[in-house]
Every structure is written in structure tokens, then in C-alpha cells.
Amino acid sequence: LRRNPGEVEFHQAAHEVLESLRPVVDKRPEFVDASIIERICEPERQIIFRVPWVDDSGKVRINRGFRVEFNSALGPYKGGLRFHPSVYLGIVKFLGFEQIFKNALTSMPIGGGKGGSDFDPKGRSDGEIMRFCQSFMTELYRHLGEYTDVPAGDIGVGGREIGYLFGQYKRITNRYEAGVLTGKGLSWGGSQVRTEATGYGTVFFVHEMLRARKTDFDGKKVVVSGSGNVAIYAAEKVAQLGGTVIALSDSGGYIVQEGGIDLDAVKELKEVRRGRISEYAEKRDARFVADGCIWDVPCDIALPCATQNELDESGAGALVKNGCIIVAEGANMPTTPEALRVLRRGGIEFAPGKAANAGGVATSALEMQQNASRDTWTFEYAEERLHDIMQGIYGTCAMTAEEYGMPGDYVAGANIAGFIRVADAMLALGVI
């Protein structure tokens, strides 16, 4: 705490992981001797920089840019960029820390990192977004490389932003180094299924949880928070597997439609028009609630897919009361520690983000594979790979939890399995 004052979210994420590790350090004292825990909590490198840009009225604006290169024991740093006014070092470090273990769980050769800016893209013109991205990359490029650090998208950074960032990287370096960024467009080095991967992957993970309970999505009512990249494609896969998504949200409120939400309309609203979720309810048989809690909507499965700490104690209480059976995190750390205690006491099965939302980064690694081999795969093949990876992650979490005497505790399973993979590599690489 003293080394990282004020970084509340980072403390929360680190505490949650370290809490799970007692049985590991008892079993593997060599990790303690080599100070692996102290080392893993300290980023290898943290970069903070000024991002000056000119808005449409000619005024010079200044934002702050971040990249935290947390751990490269398993491969180049890999993790997204977030553009949101709430971004500061504590958020970037929490996300980077989570990313280390998430990436390890995919079994792919990628280290952990994260970055972003306190820039608010909402309401900005295309030209402003482009100038901001170009200025951001004009500093960041010197820290990147396909063997060094490979960013992707996150909140506020989608295909459009990745395009502007990649364009500036290419211009400055005079290299078409496709493997330096993931989430690229399909015609310029992107991978099929990357857009869908995080949401689809979360639902594949839940599908495995349901199979273990000898059931499936058929007839299940699902509430998904958010209506961005992760939420939209989680909802799409739920519908494909026979479930009904009855609620979605954005930071302005939530919509409920008992018969099932029309996802094509949501995509048009959010991906094309960049509108507000309230507009969905204007022409349809749906209810918009401006100042409520989406978790009050009775459901069988809840998928928080918006942002950190969005599911609190009272939301968790409502889920328990209404008979929800599974909560799976599409977002990073959306569940507060207090809420998790309520869910556990209420007997709700819980899938942590670092396992359940790892499909996005796994498909980014598949994008890097295709870039390295100058290849492009079909949608079906890329989805099959994603599905296999998510089944693998589920299996690893379930087996590890069992091995350590906590069957069904996917939080412990994910933390322990991810940690051991990184810690073993750090031991092998010596004190660096």
C-alpha cells in the first residue's frame, strides 16, 4: 500500500489475487525464496507521457498517456488501451496486473501490460479522435514492437482508434509491422472473430459451467450490462445458444425487453450511430430505466460486461433474491469484493474475468500468429480455436480448484493456475 499510494483499484486487484495464493506458497517455498510475489507486483516498466492535440475549434488540449509494461516472463507485453476520463495509474495498473494472469491462463506466449489515457472520446469528431490517436502514438511507438509490447483495444478504443494508431505507427517507423497492434480491420491484418472474441469467449465459459450442472442456455433469461464490444457479442452468442437476453445498459441507464432484445438494432445504434441505449426503447416494446440498477431485473444468468466495480453488494443481493444461478465477468473486475461475498453466500456460481473474458486476448494472440505467418483464417476456424481455448481455460480453472481442495471455486483456480505458470517462468529466467 505504501509503495503505491492512492491506487485503489490496483490494491483491490492485487489483494484478490494474493488472497488465493497461500496454499501455493505453502506447497512451493521456492517462490518465496525468489521473492516472486514481490517481483510480480512491481511492473517491469511504467511509462507516463503528455498527449497534446488540437480540437476542432483550434484549442490545444492536453491529456495524459500511460503504458504499464507489467510482466514479460511469458512473452511480449500484451493488453489493451483504454480511453476514458476515469483513467489514471491505479486503473492501468489494476488492468495490467490482471492481464498477467489472464494471459498465462490462455497458455499462449504473451506477457501482461495495459495502457490508455484520460481522454474522453464521447462527443468528439472523427478528426479529433484521429489527431488524438496520432499524438498518443507519436510518443508510444518507441516502446512498442511485435517482440516487445503489443497493445489492443479496451473501453473507448475500437476498430476506428486502432486504425488511426496503426496508421501513425506505420508512418513514423516506415514498417508495416502488422503484429504490433491487434484488433485491426479484416482488410489490413485483422483476424476473424477478434471483434466477437471477448463476448463469445465469456459465453463459451458459461456454457461449460452449465454443462457441469447438466444443463444449457436453452430457455435461460440473461442480463448483460453495458452495450459496448464485450456486451454486444456476449448477447449475440447467448442468443445463438438458445438463451434470451432481456436487459442491456450503458452509463445512462438500462433497457428491459422480456421477449428478448433485438441485437441487430443495438448494433446499428451503438456501432454505427454511436447513440445512447435509451434511444432503443423509443420505438420498441421495451422499458428504459434511467437511474436504476440493472441487477434488479430477475434473471438466471448475469454477465457484467461494462466496467470495474459495477456490481455491488446490493446488486448481488438482488441477484441472489431473484434466483440467479451464475455470474460471469465479461468486464475486468466488475464485481466488488463485498458483492462476491454475497454471491458466494447465496450459492451463485461465479466466473472471474481473468478466466471468463480471456477469449479477447487469446484471439489477439491468434491474430499475431496469422500476422507472423502472413496467413488469414476463416471465421469458422478462428471461432473453433477460440472455443477450444475457452474450454481449456475452464478445465484448467476447475482442475486447479479441485487440486487445491476448493472444488467449484473458479476464482482460486484461475488465480493459482495463472500465477504458477508465470512464477515458474520467472524462476527459470533468474533474477531479472
Site residues (CB under 6 A) for ligand NDP?
153-156, 198, 226-231, 249-252, 305-307, 310, 330-332, 357, 360
Going through 118-262 in order, the beta strands assigned E by DSSP cover 149-152, 221-225, 244-250, 253-256
385 or 404: CB nearest ligand NDP? 385
Among 113, 66, 100, which Cα is nearest to 86's?
66
Residue 236 and residue 124: Cα distance in Å, rounded? Answer: 28
Give yes or no for a contact between 140 and 115, defined as CB atoms under 8 angstroms apart: yes
Q: How far is the CB of 161 from ligand NDP (least distance, A)?
A: 10
The C-alpha cell that represents 340 in the structure block: 462476491
Q: How far is the CB of 397 from ligand NDP (least distance, A)?
A: 16
CA 288 to centroid of chain Cα atoms:
26
Q: How far is the CB of 242 from ligand NDP (least distance, A)?
A: 23
90 or 330: CB nearest ligand NDP? 330
Q: How far is the CB of 226 from ligand NDP (least distance, A)?
A: 3
35 or 251: CB nearest ligand NDP? 251
Residue type, 388: D
Pairing of strands 287-289, 77-83: unpaired
Among 116, 4, 105, 135, which Cα is nearest to 397's?
105
Distances in Å between the Cα of 340 and the Cα atoms of 314, 352, 370 are 11, 10, 38
User: Which residues have CB under 8 Å from 271's CB, separation 6+?
Assistant: 232
306 or 386: CB nearest ligand NDP? 306
Residue nearest to ligand NDP (CB): 228
Catalytic residue among 93, 102, 114, 220: 114
- Look up 93 and say whether it is catalytic: no
User: Which residues have CB under 8 Å from 133's CB, separation 6+?
Assistant: 161, 164, 165, 168
Q: How far is the CB of 213 from ligand NDP (least distance, A)?
A: 25
The C-alpha cell that represents 20 in the structure block: 488465493
252 or 259: CB nearest ligand NDP? 252
CA 118 to centroid of chain Cα atoms:
18
246 or 331: CB nearest ligand NDP? 331
Q: How far is the CB of 199 from ligand NDP (least distance, A)?
A: 8
Catalytic amino acids? 114
